[in-house]
Amino acid sequence: MCTSGLYVHKDREVPDTTHMIADYPSGHTIVIAGCTANEQGLEDMIRGHKATMYLGGNAVEIRPERDFSDGVEGLKEKVGNGEDIGAHERDFLQAVRTGKKPNCDIDLATPVQVAICMAELSYRQSKMMRFDPVKMELMR
């Protein structure tokens, strides 16, 4: 499902503020909020039952939830400065040349792109979308 409505820049085809919710059969839910009309972003995080993982800048931090603080260890690790798009392009071209499996293959790309396309359709049609993963098609 994707909702929106705020148009700060009237010359655009899509709104400046967007909210997407994707529920998966595994029971996981992804919530994404975006705004191109404000310089302040939202903190990237993964909320679990036992801990929250914060992703941002050059660090990953895990903070246990209060009820699980005895059983879950906190962690803060420095990570790189993000992924180099050039490295992805080189890996893809090398895979085409040699036939090896690329780092980001179609099995990874498909579920990501399906969620993005469903969000766009949801916004444009003002309705919640459903997907059949066996038939690989939208459910009517």
Whether residue 60 lies inside any domain: the answer is: yes
Whether residue 132 lies inside any domain: the answer is: no
Structure tokens at 77: 């690790």
Whether residue 115 lies inside any domain: the answer is: no
Whether residue 118 lies inside any domain: the answer is: no
Predicted local confidence at residue 79, as pLDDT: 82
Q: With beta carbons less than 8 A apart as the criterion, state whether 69 and 51 touch.
A: no
DSSP letters, the chain, are -EEE---SSTT-SS-SEEEEEEE-TTS-EEEEEEESS-S--PPEEEE-SSEEEEEETTEEEEEE-GGGTTTS--EEEE--S---HHHHHHHHHHHHHH-PPPSS-HHHHHHHHHHHHHHHHHHHHTS---EETTTTEE--
Whether residue 55 lies inside any domain: the answer is: yes
Q: Which of 19, 15, 45, 26 is nearest to 111 (CA)?
A: 26
Whether residue 25 lies inside any domain: the answer is: no
Whether residue 59 lies inside any domain: the answer is: yes
Predicted local confidence at residue 82, as pLDDT: 66
pTM of the full structure: 0.74
Q: Mean pLDDT, 10 residues at a time, over the chain (140 residues)?
A: 80 84 91 83 86 87 90 87 82 95 90 93 94 91
Total structural domains within the chain: 1
> Which residue range forms the structural domain that includes residue 50?
44-82
Whether residue 48 lies inside any domain: the answer is: yes
